[in-house]
Amino acid sequence: MRLRSIFIAVVIALVLVVLGGIAWTWRPAIAPISAREASAKDQQLISRGADLAAIGGCGTCHTADAGKLLAGGLPLPTPFGTIFSTNITPDAETGIGTWSEAAFQRSMREGVDREGRHLYPAFPYDHFTRATDDDIRAIYAFLMSQPAIRNVAPNNDLTFPLNFRPVVAGWKILFLDRGPLQPDASKSVEWNRGRYLADGLGHCGACHTPRNGLGAEKKDSIFAGGSAEGWDAPALDATAARKWSADQLTDYLATGWHQSHGAAAGPMADVVNNLRHASAADVRAIAIYVASFSPQSESASPPARENQVPNAPAGTVAIYNGSCAQCHREADAVGPSKALPLSLSSSLRQAAPTNTVQVVLNGIQAYRSAGGPYMPGFDGMLSDQQIAAVVDYARARYTNQPPWAGVQDALTKARQGAAQ
Amino acid sequence: MTIALNVNGKSHDIDADPSTPLLYVLRNELALHGPKFGCGLGQCGACTVHVDGRAMFSCLLPIAAIGDRKITTTEGLLEGGKPNKLQQAFIDEQAAQCGYCISGMVMRAASLLRVNPHPTDAEIHQHMRPNLCRCGTHAAILRAVKRAAA
């Protein structure tokens, strides 16, 4: 009898937990609308939304095929499996054509789709939640003005239990801090504008802030450096390999290059190409805010450095001279294709060789049609051993940093990333 | 210092500084004038040759880095002293205006057709991207590649 009542109590408790869980994670669907209702006629709003969507980089993740803009399907590798971006064109069946503005606002603020399903935080709603209603409205108007493209994104490939969406509700309780930022009255209007854009739509921290074991940004380590798509997103705080001034960062964000740092390559090149749509004032505001994390503690343009490397193998020096020094010619002057004097390169001074290896393998191709820095990739021209030796040599010759361990590992990882 | 290079099926002992870019050796030592000096910076592709069948900028490839890999220039594609199918397609489509980029274009295209004999238009566009033509005969060049792939 006693056993029986315990059993009943346990069953009731379990049912309550399950029901509570459902209630806790459940979000209602928002009624679908017809595509005609959604299309805004306000060209100014649409145009502003286009610029804001560029700052947010919507098209960078939500486009897999350049001919199908915003139609989704791009694989995003995460430590928990692969997530495929969704179709955010106004196609009724495969996109967001039936989403009302309220549904779109909720997705940006809470990470819930129109049907009420929790979205994975690869969609950076932990940042987008900072955007104002007006800005989200403009982005909605822009998206709804785009051509509807029928495209079904592949299913996500996530490990259990993360493939069970209600789990995301728990993540949100722990890590999602909803709603707008309060302006900091002790800082300038520009700084606050920069914070709004960088922490909100720009989601700079999504790459430049390290993440914890559950994939959430560490709130006490803002801009301490993270990673993105096989690249290191360098630290932008006081631990940065090279500190930024607001002027330097403005130039870098606007052109993809600064001679005291180097070129914006990899995923950062997408950011620069997106920021062409932002106003000069907004780019400067972002720069002012981000540069405030790395107050200058060294001269703006550090003196060129060139060390003797007496033990370097003759073959490696020959390859350096024949391949690298055709552009990276002088210790103190910019070469052709905006090749940096390598002693000024931030990548070459970073703790890990990841970015240097990526650039040597694949080059910098992002600005070919726009002008800007360029570098050919040396993958296949030089063997991995030759690349590793030449990278080690450049680090020894042009920086005061200790030798890298694991250049070979970085090469292997960069190749695996490229194969995916 | 002597470095052995295998070019178009023949071995050559080259007496040159090991940092010398392959392009200079091909043109100045071996009198193979197909590959051209365009920019010397890996930007234009006029110097493109094959190294073990892959298209590469010979202007940025020092001879010290080559080892026993086999080099092929546009001269090496000739069949019995006559243009091969791809080269003939460039002639038939009149793909050359000034002609300076064409050797590089042929070598870039040949490296695609070697692994993918019937590429789509998108694959041809993607593959040919590293090579530039200042005269603007890209349309004829793409037609030539398609003709050779047909």
Ramachandran angles phi, psi of A232, nearest 5°: -85, 130
Given A315, A319, A376, which is nearest B42 (Cβ)?
A: A376
**Chain segment A54-81, per-residue pLDDT in tens:** 999 999 999 998 889 999 999 998 889 9
Q: What is the pLDDT of residue A300?
A: 57
Question: Which range (A3-17, A240-254, A300-314) has the least confidence?
Answer: A3-17
- How far is residue A263's CA from residue A27's CA, in Å, rounded to a whole number? 44
> Which residues in chain A have their CB less than 8 angstroms from residue B62's CB?
318-319, 321-323
ipTM score for this prediction: 0.94
Cβ count near A405 (within 10 Å): 10
Task: Calculate how close chain B gets to A341, using CA atoms only, in Å.
Answer: 15
**Is A315 close to B54, i.e. CB distance below 8 A?**
no
Residue corresponding to tokens 């928002």: A30
Q: Is the minimum CB–CB distance between A161 and chain B shorter than 8 Å?
A: no
**Chain segment A174-214, per-residue pLDDT in tens:** 999 888 889 999 999 999 999 999 999 999 999 999 999 99
> Which residues in chain B have their CB less than 8 angstroms from residue A322's CB?
18-21, 60-65
- How far is residue A276's CA from residue A286's CA, in Å, rounded to a whole number? 13
Per-residue tokens: B128 = 């040919």
> Which residues in chain B have their CB less than 8 angstroms from residue A318's CB?
17-19, 62, 64-65
**Is A375 close to B42, i.e. CB distance below 8 A?**
yes
CA distances from A313 to A223, A316, A318, A361, B22 (A): 38, 5, 9, 21, 20
Are residues A224 and A210 in contact, defined by beta-carbon separation less than 8 angstroms?
yes
Model confidence band, residue B52 (pLDDT cutoffs 50, 70, 90): very high
Are residues A317 and A325 in contact, defined by beta-carbon separation less than 8 angstroms?
no
**Chain segment A309-336, per-residue pLDDT in tens:** 989 999 999 999 999 999 998 888 899 9
> Which residues in chain A have their CB less than 8 angstroms from residue B64's CB?
315, 318-319, 322
